[in-house]
């Protein structure tokens, strides 16, 4: 069964579920982390874990490891895995954490991925963000959906 523009219903359902998840999370920040070099989805996921640790440390301080429920939460997707892999993150956090994350993202990512670039934006339209982040998501790309530890 196909839907809009010949898109299989299963893909439309996956995308709608991701959009709903993002809207429900009520993210405050939208972050794009680019590698600007050839890399794999597995490596991208590992670098996201490293970035998440830096984000938690910056926002929560010394005992961030023990404060899982207070960490910023994210829903991330890997996009363009075969050509120009980059990560899109919908980050849910407090206003104070949001300001810290906006300030620390570029230098933290540069230490992890010297050739990498970042873009950090405030979220004003969760539904629009959900639509944007789900545009390449399908059952074939389930491994391209990554959730922070505090989301699981």
* pLDDT one-digit tens code per residue, 46-71: 999 999 999 999 999 999 999 989 99
Q: What is the pLDDT of residue 137?
A: 67
pTM for this structure?
A: 0.89
**Which residue has tokens 């505090």?**
150
Task: Tell me the average pLDDT of the chain.
Answer: 88
Spatial contact of 86 and 33, defined as CB atoms under 8 Å apart: yes
Query: Taking 70 as the threshold, does the pLDDT of residue 152 lie above it?
Result: no
Q: What is the pLDDT of residue 27?
A: 97
| Burial tier of 32 (Cβ tally within 10 Å: 0-12, 13-18, 19+) | middle
Cα–Cα separations (whole angstroms), residue 82 to 29, 79, 85, 89, 141: 26, 9, 7, 19, 12
Mean pLDDT of 72-85: 88
- What whole-number distance in Å separates Cα of residue 123 and Cα of residue 127? 10
């Amino acid at each position: 069964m196909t839907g809009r523009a010949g898109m299989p219903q299963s893909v439309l359902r996956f995308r709608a579920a991701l959009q709903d998840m993002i809207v429900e999370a009520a993210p405050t920040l939208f972050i794009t982390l680019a590698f600007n070099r050839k890399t794999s989805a597995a490596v991208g996921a590992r670098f996201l874990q490293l970035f998440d640790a830096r984000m938690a440390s910056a926002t929560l301080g010394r005992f961030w490891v023990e404060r899982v429920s207070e960490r910023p939460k994210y829903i991330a997707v890997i996009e363009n895995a075969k050509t120009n892999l980059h990560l899109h993150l919908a980050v849910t956090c407090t206003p104070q954490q949001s300001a810290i994350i906006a300030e620390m993202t570029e230098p933290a990512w540069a230490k992890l991925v010297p050739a990498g670039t970042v873009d950090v934006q405030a979220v004003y339209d969760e539904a629009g963000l959900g639509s944007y982040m789900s545009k390449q998501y399908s059952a074939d790309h389930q491994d391209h959906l990554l959730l922070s530890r505090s989301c699981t």
